[in-house]
Structure 1
């Protein structure tokens, strides 16, 4: 019997990409199927799954681990995964990642805690280290949904160097971080030539911030989709 071309296997298995359980079972049949299925399984993984968080933590390098040192977290000490799973991820949503981190911490990643008692600084540190790692390791990353963790210097540096991300959405950013986030975003728009889609979400924009954005958009030649969604744009009234 002739073997099907690789492309045919991919089409067949991609039709199961929402059926994680059966797709995973197919990956265990043989190595050939496994090579086809793993990239499909990991293209859009469930970031709320704390088992996924454990795998991500095994992939952190020294700089990314350094963000967690002040919190004295004991990282998983299992062997590194056989596959470079994060290489296949195509999108990151920090909203879902946030809950994956909370569940991991609450179930023993730090110490037994109630979800509402976990320090915000600890959650932010882990999320920042994981997003930094994903920006560094994923060769297929196209879409980012980030909140105020975009203000982290390591994330900014890796985002600046990344050449695959084409779409970015900003989640709700608190007033304490908004000014810095807008400043970093403007720098990205000045220098990042791969970004073609940008969504500001529901963030309130001051006149000065809007002016900075308009100035960089005037000079940007790659962006072809811009969405202010439900953003509030404050307008200064002219004094008579």
Structure 2
């Protein structure tokens, strides 16, 4: 039996989103066509173990350049010897959901700390590990992604510690190409005062020049006067 044309494979894959991982194992051609579909929004899959979600983040961290890895090492995170990646996974990213990324980073750290069978990355100390990892990941996404089209930002409470999701300084990445310049869908949900995220709104207003859909949600008790004014 002959090999299906690439166009046919890509059309089939559109209808098997929940079974994409099994398509990786058919052969190399199917694998090459499946990987971009998995990695355009890798944290969307439900039912995956924390360990599997952690492997997504593991591959992103392996994709960092030497300067970024050195910066993390200075912050207390040491990288063990790694095998080269088969794909440029960050280049496929099209959707960023910060609540999913937030949870994945926290699960990843727990997985690395307590599963000594996979010592790919060795922590020397926690410190500000979370915001440091998020910062370098966002730089990676801005630099490597061929085009981020959707940005979902939800400020949630992490029970029981009741802490906010932290965001990197978006304004410092506003000149990255292509970065978030091609974003078409933006959804922002927050439950606290908006002032701490002024730079986030400024970055979106100046960098996302192709927005087609914009959604902003906040509590009914939110005071409109606390919303920042932009010129």
Same fold (TM over 0.5): yes
* Structure 2 equivalent of residue 169 of structure 1: 187
* Deviation for aligned residue 1:32: 1.7
TM-score, normalised with respect to structure 2: 0.71
Task: Tell me if 1:194 matches 2:194.
Answer: no
Root-mean-square deviation (CA, aligned residues, Å) is 3.2
* Deviation for aligned residue 1:134: 1.5
Structure with the higher fraction of residues in helix conformation:
1
* Deviation for aligned residue 1:64: 3.5
Distance 1:75 1:167 in 2: 35
Is contact 1:67-1:126 (8 Å) kept? no
* Deviation for aligned residue 1:188: 3.6
| Aligned partner of 1:85 among 86, 89, 110 | 89
* Structure 2 equivalent of residue 101 of structure 1: 105
- SS of match in other structure, 1:200: strand
Is contact 1:60-1:133 (8 Å) kept? yes
* Structure 2 equivalent of residue 229 of structure 1: none
- SS of match in other structure, 1:53: helix
* Structure 1 equivalent of residue 63 of structure 2: 59
Counterpart mapping for 1:17-36 below 5 A: 17-19=17-19, 23-36=20-33
Distance 2:29 2:7 in 1: 12
* Structure 2 equivalent of residue 45 of structure 1: 42
* Structure 2 equivalent of residue 126 of structure 1: 133
- SS of match in other structure, 1:68: helix
Task: Tell me if 1:207 matches 2:211.
Answer: no
Q: Which runs of 5+ in 1 are unaligned?
A: 216-240
- SS of match in other structure, 2:42: coil
Larger Rg: 1
- SS of match in other structure, 2:103: helix
> How many equivalent pairs are there?
203
| Counterparts in 2 of 1:30 and 1:98: CA distance versus 1, 3 Å | same
| Counterparts in 2 of 1:46 and 1:192: CA distance versus 1, 3 Å | closer
* Structure 2 equivalent of residue 136 of structure 1: 143
